[in-house]
Amino acid sequence: MAEYAIEIDGLVKKFGDFTAVNGISFKIKKGEIFGLLGPNGAGKTTTINVVLGLLKLTSGKITVNGLDIKKYGEEIKQRIGLMTQETVVEGDLTAWENLEIFAELYHVSPAGERNKRIVEALKEAELTDFAKKKAGTFSGGMKRRLELVKSMIQHPSILILDEPTTGLDIQNRTNMWKHIKELNSLGVTIILTTQYLEEADVLCDRIAIIDHGKIKAIGTVSELKKVVGTGRILEVIAENHGDAAAISGILKTHFKLKPEIKVDKVTAIVEIGHEEKTMSKLLIELSKKRIKISSVSMHMPTLDDVFMALTGASTRDATHDDNSSRMDSMMRGMRGMR
């Protein structure tokens, strides 16, 4: 039996001259929730569409449960459930009918088994009372829950969720997380894409941060947080964004820190034990130079900080030189981790 649910090796996907996925490799263990975290256009949907055989890969190799997708495409499709990024429930059909169509599509038979699975699915989605209601009348959260259970109707061992909670409010998002965790606890391997760091933090055993078709880092949440070191993150928000450069200058010259700027926000890593002194001295310096700030805080590194450090605007624009050296040392650290 293959140890990994999915193995991706040197995947490249081009659309004409444009390279959407540029040589990515990672392995997803059976039973894990693996997150692909990246901004718009990073290549998340393209990657999963290639795994599913919906797009043909340009080069590289993918195996699912040890089987090469080039040879066993059809068989693999049956084993993977997909919840697409766009909501695709049929609004004119009832919740029951939506599930029934899918059950037939995946050849779930006989009818008794099909009905049993639909009843279970509706229960799982908390939609039992809405079985005979048209899906078009459902709220966004209800539609997404219906899609989640729909993608599970053939009882796949792997479930792919493409941005399952984008557009949902926090209550519906939290509810969706609960359902995703439940499915995983039943033994389903889950690969999910998300733009939400909090989502990846709450759900995922491991995360790959992807940007511009390349993997910037892979690891557990705590491993990734180590990328920004064990220090604390100082965050200063300037009242006028024109002052961000001056704040950054103070942090460089007076504190020997390596700040990053994003519009009006300046962040820097402060060594543990230096937080209070840095904070009070900084406030004095800012007041001396009459620089007004909206807020200043010090926090433990979050996935947000890792994401910013690895994909953030500041690594690509104004302060490129400072960041490229920091990026290099981070990447060296990450390589040892893989």
Ligand X SMILES: Nc1ncnc2c1ncn2[C@@H]1O[C@H](COP(=O)(O)OP(=O)(O)OP(=O)(O)O)[C@@H](O)[C@H]1O
Neighbours of 324 (CB within 10 A): 11
| Amino acid residing at 130 | F
Q: Which does 38 bind (CB under 5 to 8 A by kind): ligand X, Mg ion, none?
A: ligand X
**Which residue stretch of 14-22, 168-176, 284-292, 325-333 sits at the interface with ligand X (rule: CB under 6 A)?**
14-22
212: left (phi over 0), alpha (psi -120 to 50) or beta: left
Touching ligand X, residues 162-201 (CB under 6 A): 195
49 touching Mg ion, by CB under 5 A: no
Q: By CB under 6 A, is residue 46 in contact with ligand X?
A: yes
- Give the Cα separation of 214 and 26 in Å (integer): 11
C-beta closer to Mg ion: residue 140 or 273 = 140
Closest CA to 50 of 73, 27, 81, 18: 73
Our CB check for ligand X shows the closer of 46 and 278 to be 46
CB atoms within 10 A of CB 281: 14
Instruction: State how far the Cα of 175 lies from the Cα of 172, in Å rounded to an integer.
Output: 5
Which of 10, 41, 66, 136 touches ligand X by CB under 6 A?
41
Nearest approach, Cβ of residue 44 and Mg ion (Å)? 5
* Residue 149 binds: one of ligand X, Mg ion, none (C-beta under 5 to 8 A by kind): none
- Nearest to Mg ion of 25, 85 (CB atom): 85
Handedness of CA 323, 26, 41, 84 (dihedral sign): negative
**Contact with Mg ion (CB under 5 A) among 8, 20, 43, 45:** 45
Instruction: Mark 65-94 with x for binding to ligand X (rule: CB under 6 A) and - for no binding.
Output: --------------------x---------
Backbone dihedral region for residue 76 (phi beyond 0: left; psi -120 to 50: alpha; all else: beta): alpha
- Shortest Å, Cβ 215 to ligand X: 12
d(CA 110, CA 100) in angstroms, rounded, equals: 12
Residues at the site binding ligand X, with contacts judged by CB under 6 A? 15, 18, 20, 38, 40-46, 85, 195
Residues at the site binding Mg ion, with contacts judged by CB under 5 A? 44-45, 85
